[in-house]
Structure 1
Amino acid sequence: MKRIVAIGEILVEIMAAEPGEGFREPLALTGPFPSGAPAIFADQAARFGQPAAMIGCVGDDDFGRVNLDRLSRDGVDISGIRIDPEAATGSAFVRYRADGSRAFVFNITHSASGRIVFDSAARAVLEQSHHLHVMGTALFAPAIVEVVLEAASLIKGRGGTISFDPNLRLEMLNLSGLRAACEALFRRCDLFLPSGTELTLFTDTEDEDAAIAEILAHGVSAVVHKKGVMGASYYDATTRLTQPGFAVDEVDPTGAGDSFGATFVSCWLRGMPPGTCLAYAAASGALAVTKLGPMEGASTEAEIKDFLADRNKRAAP
């Protein structure tokens, strides 16, 4: 099977135990949980049974080891993850508001995640990989952008493919150069995986149908528009499909979109029909939200098949 490599931030997530507005008073916390959008993606792909590797950087600390242990245990090749002896592993403090939205306090730019380099270990990982997945969250520093763009050129030069998920957090939108870097990856990708209004980030129109046509005209092979609990839609030059979301008891939505994307890309690389890719991905995203912690709901192919079989049984007359 084709091997996926993800590049980007690796961090721990620490969550407030009670809903509220931010972190301006002492409160109970739970964690650390292994996290980082590209790391969640790689972990879910590996759990699904797809060969997966990660290029990134963690500190020589317990937060770094929490991530390395989890990724390695779930089958991710971690040989491209550098351990920096000076910088601390990245972190994200999260608190849910009463309306279900989230407030984040990130330490990524000045953490070990900001020290990703294209060293011999990272190059060796890339040379063994067939597909590159990039999240917009990874493009937070010029040095990282250089690494990602070089990796993209090498993958494409060897006939490989690229998937791109903007995954832009409100807290990151003002970072210098972020939008330009995201647009550069958008122009290179084969598979575009936007969520919600990200669909029109790089188009001249906000009309959904016109935006899809414009994106495909740029040379993108397929678009998967993620719509959260409403499901997702797939578009290519000849096909349009919609997959409803699956109703589950939500515990923690963090990582659902990353899990969806990892499962879709894995299925897509295996040559599965788009409808099957969508159904598997939607099931993966639904399972992800049933556990507390970004990677805790990662699911195997067998678990996804069981979930879909159960849903089909319930829907049968």
Structure 2
Amino acid sequence: MKEVITLGEILVEIMAKKTNQLFIEAGEFLGPYPSGAPAIFINQVAKMKVPASIIGSVGDDDFGKVCLKRLIDNGVNTSLIGVNSELPTGTAFVRYQSNGSRDFIFNIRHSASAAFELTDIAKERLSTCAVLHVMGSSIFSHDVIHMMRAAIEIVKNNGGKISFDPNVRKELLGDSALFAFFKEVLAKTDIFLPSGEELFALTNKQILEDAVESALELGVSEIVLKQGSDGCAFYSHNDYFFMPSFSVEEIDATGAGDTFGATYIACRELGYSPEKSLGLANASGAMAVSHWGPMEGASSEEELNKFIDTFTESLEEI
């Protein structure tokens, strides 16, 4: 089986312990947790037993070791991850508000997280991969834009697919050119994994049907519209269906969307139908929000099927 590859930030996340905790005063924090949206994604792909690699970089420090150990333990091929002896591993501090929103303080641009390169070996691997997953949070500099553009060209020229999760973070949208690049990526995308607002923004449409049609006309073959606890919807040229979510107690939503997308992409590479793929993806999202920490709820296919069976049995008993 060909591998799924992504590229971008690998970092640790330090999380505020209490809701509405402020960054401008002393407080309790938990971590470090291995994190970074593309790292969360590729970690879950590997948990699904699909060959998985990430092009990235960590510092030669304990934070870097934490990240590498987690990825290796879960089966990610880490040979495309550089270890930088001069820059520290990237960090993200996150606090939670009572309305469910989150605020981040990132150190990505000036850390090892931003020091990855598209080496000759990485280019060779991209030329034979099944899917390149583009994570919007990784588009944090013009250097990354150039690398991402080159990576997409290599994959498309060799018959691979592009999956794209805009994953827009307001802290990373200070440069309008970065958002403009998202539209360029969308025109090369095969599998699109947006939220509702991202779908509208990237298609310049305000009505759902128009936005979906616009994306499909660009060449997108599958759209998975993420709606959090409200479930998700699938659109293609010939099909549409809605998939409800699993109702669970939310402990931490960080990384749930990345985990969801990874499970869907992995399942499609395993040859599963969109319906089965989304069922497992919804289960993985539920497992993710049920654990504290971005990667702590990563689950194997066996664990996801067990969760679905248990959830179904509990409903039948009501």
> Shorter-chain TM-score: what band?
over 0.9
What is residue 149 of structure 2 aligned with on the other side? 149
Is this contact kept in 2: 1:61–1:89, CA < 8 A?
A: yes
SS of the residue corresponding to residue 55 of structure 1 reads strand
Q: Where in structure 2 are the equivalents of 1:282-293 lying within 5 Å?
A: 282-293=282-293
What per-residue deviation string (whole Å, max 9, x for no partner) do you get for residues 213-271 of structure 1? 11101110010000000010000001001111111121110010000000001111222
| Deviating more after overlay: 93-102 vs 165-174 | 93-102
* Offset at residue 122 of structure 1 (A): 2.2
What is residue 231 of structure 1 aligned with on the other side? 231
What is residue 35 of structure 1 aligned with on the other side? 35
CA distance in 2, matches of 1:2, 1:80: 16
* Offset at residue 21 of structure 1 (A): 4.7
SS of the residue corresponding to residue 76 of structure 1 reads coil
Is this contact kept in 2: 1:80–1:125, CA < 8 A?
A: no
Give the aligned residue type for 1:165: D
What is residue 212 of structure 1 aligned with on the other side? 212
Q: Where in structure 2 are the equivalents of 1:243-262 lying within 5 Å?
A: 243-262=243-262
Is this contact kept in 1: 2:264–2:277, CA < 8 A?
A: yes
SS of the residue corresponding to residue 94 of structure 1 reads strand
Q: Does residue 24 of structure 2 align to residue 60 of structure 1? A: no
| Deviating more after overlay: 80-89 vs 95-104 | 95-104
SS of the residue corresponding to residue 133 of structure 1 reads strand
Q: Where in structure 2 are the equivalents of 1:170-181 lying within 5 Å?
A: 170-181=170-181
CA distance in 2, matches of 1:2, 1:311: 33
* Offset at residue 103 of structure 1 (A): 1.4
CA distance in 2, matches of 1:183, 1:37: 20
CA distance in 2, matches of 1:21, 1:35: 21
Give the aligned residue type for 2:46: A
| Deviating more after overlay: 202-211 vs 131-140 | 202-211
Give the aligned residue type for 1:265: I
Q: Where in structure 2 are the equivalents of 1:128-167 lying within 5 Å?
A: 128-167=128-167
CA distance in 1, matches of 2:252, 2:175: 27
* Count of residue pairs brought into register by the alignment: 317
What is residue 277 of structure 1 aligned with on the other side? 277
Q: Which runs of 5+ in 2 are unaligned?
A: none
Q: Where in structure 2 are the equivalents of 1:103-122 lying within 5 Å?
A: 103-122=103-122
Q: Which runs of 5+ in 1 are unaligned?
A: none
Give the aligned residue type for 1:117: E
CA distance in 2, matches of 1:55, 1:176: 25
What is residue 242 of structure 1 aligned with on the other side? 242
Q: Where in structure 2 are the equivalents of 1:169-208 lying within 5 Å?
A: 169-208=169-208
What is residue 295 of structure 1 aligned with on the other side? 295
Give the aligned residue type for 2:63: F
* Offset at residue 313 of structure 1 (A): 2.4
SS of the residue corresponding to residue 77 of structure 1 reads coil
CA distance in 1, matches of 2:270, 2:68: 27
What is residue 268 of structure 2 aligned with on the other side? 268
Is this contact kept in 2: 1:248–1:286, CA < 8 A?
A: yes
What is residue 91 of structure 1 aligned with on the other side? 91
Is this contact kept in 2: 1:81–1:122, CA < 8 A?
A: no
* Offset at residue 100 of structure 1 (A): 2.3
SS of the residue corresponding to residue 209 of structure 1 reads helix
When normalised by structure 1's length, the TM-score is 0.97
| Deviating more after overlay: 3-12 vs 93-102 | 93-102
* Offset at residue 11 of structure 1 (A): 0.6
What per-residue deviation string (whole Å, max 9, x for no partner) do you get for residues 44-79 of structure 1? 010111110010111111111111110011000000
Give the aligned residue type for 2:32: P
| Deviating more after overlay: 202-211 vs 230-239 | 202-211
* Offset at residue 3 of structure 1 (A): 1.1
| Deviating more after overlay: 55-64 vs 15-24 | 15-24
* Offset at residue 181 of structure 1 (A): 1.8
What per-residue deviation string (whole Å, max 9, x for no partner) do you get for residues 186-205 of structure 1? 11110000013111122131
CA distance in 2, matches of 1:19, 1:202: 32
Is this contact kept in 1: 2:10–2:57, CA < 8 A?
A: yes
